[in-house]
Amino acid sequence: MKRVQTPTFDISRHLTARRLEQEVENRTAYTIDTAELNIYETHHVAEQVELTFNSPVLASMIRGKKVMHLPGTPSFDFLPGESVIVPSEETMRIDFPEAQTQNPTQCLALAIAPDKVRQVTDLLNDQVPLVDTPQGWQFGQTNFYLTNDEPIYHLISRLIYIFTENNRAKEVIANLVLQELVVRLMQTQARTLLLSSGASYANVNRLAHVAQYINKHLSRSLHIRELADEACMSEPNFYRTFKQTFGMTPVDYINQQRIALASKLLRTTNRCLADISLECGFNNLTYFMKLFRREMGMSPAQYRKQLISL
C-alpha cells in the first residue's frame, strides 16, 4: 500500500476560529454524539504532561515532535505521519522537547464512543469473522502504533474537514467516515498482530503461517494457488479472507514485503540494483524500480543516496 511520505493535515479552518487559552496542550474540542475530535497545541517545552480519555483514542501528530510514554510500551518519538491507538482510561504522559511559540507542536486526538466501536466490531464479527482468532475483531484493547497509510491519512483529513465545517448533516457524514476509519484501523491492527507474533502464532493461525511462508520465499515466484494450499483453503476463500483481514490482497502484501526487503538491502549493502531486484523476487528491473518509487515516493537510487547524505 502506498506510503504517505510527508503528510500534512489541513487545520487552517480550525486555526482561524480557535482560542489560545494556555501554552501547553491548548485544547479545542469538536463534538458529535459518537466521537470527539480534539486538537492540541503546545507553544513551549514541557515534560510529563498527562492526558486520559474515557473512550478509545486515535492520536495523530500534525506538526512538531512529542515523546510518548505509554504503560507497558517503551518511550518513543511521535512525529507527523504517525498515529497511536490508546485504550480508554489509559494515561498518556507526553514530553514536548521542541515546542516553541513560532513552531508549536500540534496533535489531534479522536475519541470514539465505545458504542460506535462495538457497532463496527459486531458487524465485522458477524459478516467477516477472523479466521482462527476466537476473540474476533477488537479495537482499542491495547496500545497500537502505526504509520498512516494513504487511506487512513485521507480518512483522518476528511474527519478534520467535517468536524470543523458548519454542516447541519455533520453527524451523518462523520459517522460514515468513522465507520470506515475504524474498520481500516482494525485491519491494520490485525495485520500487525498476525504478522509480527512470530512462529508460535503461525502454528495456530493459517494467515500468520502464510505470511511467514511468504517472507521465507520472497526471492521466487509465489502464486495464490500455492498460498491457498498452505492455508488449507480454497483459492477464492483464501483470497477473500486475506483481503478482509489485512485490508490488502495477498499480491499487495507480497509486494510490500519485497519492497521492505529491498529497502533493507539498499541500507545495509552496496549491491547493485539488478542484484537486489532479483533477491527480492523481481525478474524485471524496470518493474521493480517503478514499484519501489510508487511505494517509497522515490527511486531506489534516490533512496540510497538520501541515506548516504544523512
- The pTM assigned to this predicted structure is 0.88
Strand partners, 26: 41
Domains 12-194 and 199-310 share a fold: no
Beta strands 92-96; 66-70: pairing state:
antiparallel
Say if domain 12-194 classifies as CATH 3.30.70.20.
no
CATH: 1.10.10.60, 3.40.50.11400, 1.10.760.10, 1.20.1440.230. Which one for 199-310?
1.10.10.60
DSSP one-letter code for 3 = B
The pLDDT assigned to 202 comes to 75
Per-10-residue mean pLDDT of the chain, 310 residues long, equals 64 94 96 97 97 96 97 94 95 97 96 95 94 88 90 96 95 96 93 73 87 94 97 97 94 96 95 96 96 93 82
> Read out DSSP for 109-149?
EEEE-HHHHHHHHHHHHHHSPPTT-TT----SSS-EEEE-B
The pLDDT assigned to 1 comes to 47
Which residues have CB under 8 Å from 3's CB, separation 6+?
147, 149, 150, 295, 296, 297
CB 280 within 8 A of CB 261: yes
Domain ranges of the chain: 12-194, 199-310
> Read out DSSP for 16-73?
HH-----SSSEEEEEEETTEEEEEEEE-S-EEEEEE--SS-EEEEEEES-EEEEETTE
Give the integer Cα–Cα distance in Å for 223 and 227.
6
